Chain A
């Protein structure tokens, strides 16, 4: 009784602390769970901002020759939308989940370097603020604030002083440079945590797939973000120290920027999608009530995707006039990625096969992910055929394709992850009805927008145009695409409402609401600061299955 009393006194103490003290706790925290939540909340704020930017673009494109925004505002919107969604939504949200979940799932009390963890988060946070400060601080040509307008891949020489006056491009460079260092810090932390902090018995072969996939993701971040940071520094040298790396007027090369950018840019896609695979690999087995099918093959396929993924970057450059040998090589490497990716889809299907599928919100998002990722993969094969890409590249078909990957694949699984781990993070159960409403609204909106977005691309509509000519057969499709945006927006509002309502009024979740099998479900919800009172010991990939089924444990089969 004494201990219970003291705990409740402690709770009361915490609850009654002044707001400033609580804020101080959050700002100075080095706890992986709090940093994870900070990353996630930060990313959600930017998701709303990036979504507003997308909506502005879609309203402008609702009909030909529309005058909702000026061309320069439109160009700023697509630059900020792309930069925000990749660097300040997708990466932080996935780092947030990795931060929160990884130590719990490998039975550790924190990340390997808690202070580096906090430092990395605040670098990323500062990067995002720096980017948005450009609206106020980057003197444009006329002295007014102006956001970057060079596109999220900022091709040279549009970024040179000649074509980009003022400081908007500098804000873009510095924001990505700063947040890039944050990303590298977190990646090193994840690698070190997995290498050194696994609980007794957890060999690499017994680590949950989420651990493996985040390890591969972290290695890719280190490999991919470094060249981007190097290129950003070179660009700064060009702009301020008289360098000529990318300054074509002084004999520099625009193409070398493309190589630098895409050797970051393509692995970046895998940096984002591999954690999404990780969510699917945790959610699908639990809601199908079966072990993941072909664990070693799943690991091998992931490593294979990362390895080949480092050698496909120039498929973003099929139209820049590489010779036919180079084009042919990048066709082969790109198509080869379809093999391990296909294996993963088949293994998820095999996991569902013969199971007893519970259609809870997380699983609905995971199933939609499987469908959408299949379509995204197939349109990817179309784009990998270089001559087909000569027609489709830089058209709305490409825009539809990569939104199918990023929204249909990554964002859907991330929503699934939200609903799956929300009870663990908050201790409260989310509202299932609202969750399903969110799912259906977002699914309808997604398909209205991104299915129909493919077609104008096939009909010759290039991306990044603030308006288009009537009579090209694009009007109806653009109208439908814009209508879909409002369904997605409604879905997001339901999602935010669900999170807030459930946090304050949800039912108590308990430590293991899903009857799941990995270690995070063995501690209380939310977990205590130290995660585990005693460090667990594991004998298989599903320690909680072993505990729940002592008569038929996994370790007998693995």
Chain B
């Protein structure tokens, strides 16, 4: 019988294959390191993402165990029951079924499903029924083709593409509750290190919450196909200390300061179609189809994270948006070089 069993190398190969298959997951989950990726779901810094990670690791462990068992059976079957060179040509014994065995592999999976279901239901409740404390920050996020609008009701702040929230001390949580709306098509808000994704659907307000416990910049992007430039609808969430956040709110609630040195640029801005879509508080510009520009220069990026906010990029963006983000809703304004320079200079004063 010895020589008829699966040879050792086959078994060793099978074990190595199993390790190899699960290695990537282990590598990602193990160090929980953001250096692998700034959008790694295995490196959470906020309670919803933490709860999801806990459940994920449990589900991964259960499925890994099932995989090892069933895969070993498959490898054993293939290695053990292959037709041999010295086969006598007779058919093997015919087996039609076995009630006991089939009961066993019905009941055991049912038990596994019950356990997985209970664990999942708990996490669903803990995230979806999270109580909103009185000191929670309230933000309204509105998805547009292809940028994000953020409003802080009560704080008189309207901004775009770069969300600022205060850090939350686990002992005294100050979570941020985000109401998700859409101005046009479906979008989805996904910053993997903070929380799972929730869609922004027109006529269907959703909410989600985060309580980031480390300051820093967290990245993500729209996760529901929303049109031509879905790919460059990037998300940036700045988690700041309470003091920095309060200072930021204070600055953002100011109106724009008129600067006589750039009055030519401001005149062109007002005279062209810019103001149909863009707003600058304290001026006649009150458009709302595009991002509010009152504090444009306080943002690190333009075009929803597609390019760094430098004067050169800004100028290029006004001149030919398709060069940065083909298919964006911003039209090329057809300005002359002098006009471009003047408008860029004006925008550069909007701090």
A458→B41 contact, CB < 8 A: yes
Q: B: which residues have CB within 8 A of A?
A: 21, 24-25, 28, 36-42, 49, 51-52, 55-56, 59-60, 62-63, 66-67, 70-71, 73-74, 77-78, 81-84, 87, 91-98, 101-102, 105-106, 109-110, 113, 116-117, 119-121, 123-125, 127-129, 180, 184-186, 188, 190, 192, 195-199, 201-204, 206-207, 219-232, 234, 326-327
B102→A354 contact, CB < 8 A: no
Cα distance, A381 to B56, chains bound together (Å): 11
A155→B40 contact, CB < 8 A: no
Cα distance, A467 to B306, chains bound together (Å): 11
- Judged by DSSP, the binding face of B is mixed
A387→B52 contact, CB < 8 A: yes
B39→A378 contact, CB < 8 A: no
B110→A462 contact, CB < 8 A: no
Residues of B contacting A163 in the complex (Cβ-Cβ under 8 angstroms): 184-185, 227
Residues of B contacting A1 in the complex (Cβ-Cβ under 8 angstroms): none
Residues of B contacting A320 in the complex (Cβ-Cβ under 8 angstroms): 199, 201, 204, 206
Selected A-B contacts with CB under 8 Å, 21 pairs: A157-B185, A158-B186, A163-B227, A252-B203, A254-B203, A293-B98, A350-B98, A356-B87, A359-B82, A382-B63, A385-B116, A386-B120, A387-B55, A390-B197, A391-B192, A455-B24, A459-B36, A460-B39, A460-B40, A463-B225, A472-B38
Cα distance, A163 to B66, chains bound together (Å): 46
B326→A71 contact, CB < 8 A: yes
Q: Is A18 an interface residue (CB 8 A)?
A: no
Question: Which one of A207-215, A234-242, A368-376 is at the B interface?
Answer: A368-376
**Interface residue ranges of A335-351 to B (CB < 8 Å):** 335-336, 338-339, 342-343, 345-347, 349-350
Cα distance, A254 to B63, chains bound together (Å): 34
- Which single member of A157, A293, A342, A460 contacts B202 (CB below 8 Å)? A157
Q: Is A296 an interface residue (CB 8 A)?
A: yes
Residue in chain A with minimal CB distance to B223: A462
A374→B203 contact, CB < 8 A: no
- Which single member of A75, A370, A387 contacts B228 (CB below 8 Å)? A75
A382→B81 contact, CB < 8 A: no
Given known pairs A295-B96, A332-B117, the reply for A388 and B56 (CB within 8 Å) is yes
CB distance from A479 to the nearest CB of B (A): 15
Known: A342-B109, A381-B59. 13 other contacts (CB 8 A): A75-B225, A157-B185, A158-B185, A291-B95, A353-B77, A357-B77, A359-B83, A371-B71, A385-B120, A387-B124, A391-B49, A473-B39, A549-B91
Given known pairs A328-B121, A331-B120, A382-B60, the reply for A350 and B38 (CB within 8 Å) is no
Q: Is A151 an interface residue (CB 8 A)?
A: yes
Cα distance, A466 to B94, chains bound together (Å): 54
CB distance from B338 to the nearest CB of A (A): 31
Residue in chain A with minimal CB distance to B56: A388
Residues of B contacting A323 in the complex (Cβ-Cβ under 8 angstroms): 128
Cα distance, A471 to B83, chains bound together (Å): 51
Residue in chain B with minimal CB distance to A336: B113
Q: Is A394 an interface residue (CB 8 A)?
A: yes
Cα distance, A552 to B94, chains bound together (Å): 10
A248→B71 contact, CB < 8 A: no
Cα distance, A549 to B195, chains bound together (Å): 63
Q: Is A230 an interface residue (CB 8 A)?
A: no
- Which single member of A158, A253, A293, A472 contacts B95 (CB below 8 Å)? A293
Q: Is A63 an interface residue (CB 8 A)?
A: no
Cα distance, A316 to B143, chains bound together (Å): 21
- Which single member of B196, B204, B326 contacts A70 (CB below 8 Å)? B326
CB distance from A274 to the nearest CB of B (A): 19
Residues of B contacting A552 in the complex (Cβ-Cβ under 8 angstroms): 94
Residue in chain B with minimal CB distance to A474: B37
A455→B28 contact, CB < 8 A: yes
Q: Is A120 an interface residue (CB 8 A)?
A: no
CB distance from B228 to the nearest CB of A (A): 5
Cα distance, A164 to B40, chains bound together (Å): 34
CB distance from A353 to the nearest CB of B (A): 6
Residues of B contacting A354 in the complex (Cβ-Cβ under 8 angstroms): 81, 92-93, 95
Residue in chain A with minimal CB distance to B28: A458
Interface centre among A339, A349, A384, A385 (most CB of B within 10 A): A385
Cα distance, A350 to B104, chains bound together (Å): 13
Cα distance, A391 to B42, chains bound together (Å): 10
Cα distance, A365 to B106, chains bound together (Å): 26
- Which single member of A149, A367, A557 contacts B74 (CB below 8 Å)? A367
CB distance from B187 to the nearest CB of A (A): 11
Residues of A in contact with B, size category: 35 or more
B129→A321 contact, CB < 8 A: no
Q: Is A28 an interface residue (CB 8 A)?
A: no
B41→A460 contact, CB < 8 A: yes
A248→B39 contact, CB < 8 A: no
CB distance from B118 to the nearest CB of A (A): 10
Residues of A contacting B73 in the complex (Cβ-Cβ under 8 angstroms): 349
Cα distance, A248 to B201, chains bound together (Å): 9
Given known pairs A163-B185, A390-B52, A557-B96, the reply for A469 and B196 (CB within 8 Å) is no
A254→B97 contact, CB < 8 A: no
B95→A374 contact, CB < 8 A: no
B97→A293 contact, CB < 8 A: yes
B38→A378 contact, CB < 8 A: no
A378→B185 contact, CB < 8 A: no
Residues of A contacting B59 in the complex (Cβ-Cβ under 8 angstroms): 381-382, 385, 388
B202→A248 contact, CB < 8 A: yes
Cα distance, A469 to B71, chains bound together (Å): 37
Residue in chain B with minimal CB distance to A154: B225
A339→B113 contact, CB < 8 A: yes
CB distance from B16 to the nearest CB of A (A): 15
Residues of A contacting B87 in the complex (Cβ-Cβ under 8 angstroms): 356
Residues of A contacting B123 in the complex (Cβ-Cβ under 8 angstroms): 385, 387
Cα distance, A106 to B140, chains bound together (Å): 62
Cα distance, A525 to B168, chains bound together (Å): 73
Residue in chain A with minimal CB distance to B34: A473
Q: Is A468 an interface residue (CB 8 A)?
A: yes
Cα distance, A415 to B81, chains bound together (Å): 23
Q: Is A13 an interface residue (CB 8 A)?
A: no
- Which single member of B105, B117, B184, B219 contacts A346 (CB below 8 Å)? B105
A462→B202 contact, CB < 8 A: no
Q: Residues 315-330 of chain A: 1 if any B CB is under 8 Å from the residue's CB, otherwise 0?
A: 0000111011001100
A462→B78 contact, CB < 8 A: no
Residues of A contacting B95 in the complex (Cβ-Cβ under 8 angstroms): 290-291, 293, 350, 354
Cα distance, A486 to B325, chains bound together (Å): 30
A254→B129 contact, CB < 8 A: no
CB distance from B225 to the nearest CB of A (A): 4
Cα distance, A72 to B219, chains bound together (Å): 25
CB distance from B65 to the nearest CB of A (A): 10
Cα distance, A467 to B96, chains bound together (Å): 53
Q: Is A200 an interface residue (CB 8 A)?
A: no
A254→B202 contact, CB < 8 A: yes
- Which single member of B52, B109, B231 contacts A391 (CB below 8 Å)? B52
Given known pairs A251-B203, A357-B81, A385-B116, the reply for A462 and B52 (CB within 8 Å) is no
B202→A249 contact, CB < 8 A: yes
- Which single member of A332, A355, A455 contacts B81 (CB below 8 Å)? A355
B92→A467 contact, CB < 8 A: no
B105→A335 contact, CB < 8 A: no
Q: Is A139 an interface residue (CB 8 A)?
A: no
Q: Is A558 an interface residue (CB 8 A)?
A: yes
A460→B124 contact, CB < 8 A: no
A290→B92 contact, CB < 8 A: yes
Q: Is A55 an interface residue (CB 8 A)?
A: no
B94→A71 contact, CB < 8 A: no
Interface centre among A149, A359, A367, A472 (most CB of B within 10 A): A472
Residues of A contacting B225 in the complex (Cβ-Cβ under 8 angstroms): 75, 151, 155, 158, 463-464
A378→B67 contact, CB < 8 A: yes
Cα distance, A558 to B127, chains bound together (Å): 53
B231→A468 contact, CB < 8 A: yes
Cα distance, A552 to B93, chains bound together (Å): 11
B56→A382 contact, CB < 8 A: yes
Q: Is A195 an interface residue (CB 8 A)?
A: no
Residue in chain A with minimal CB distance to B106: A343
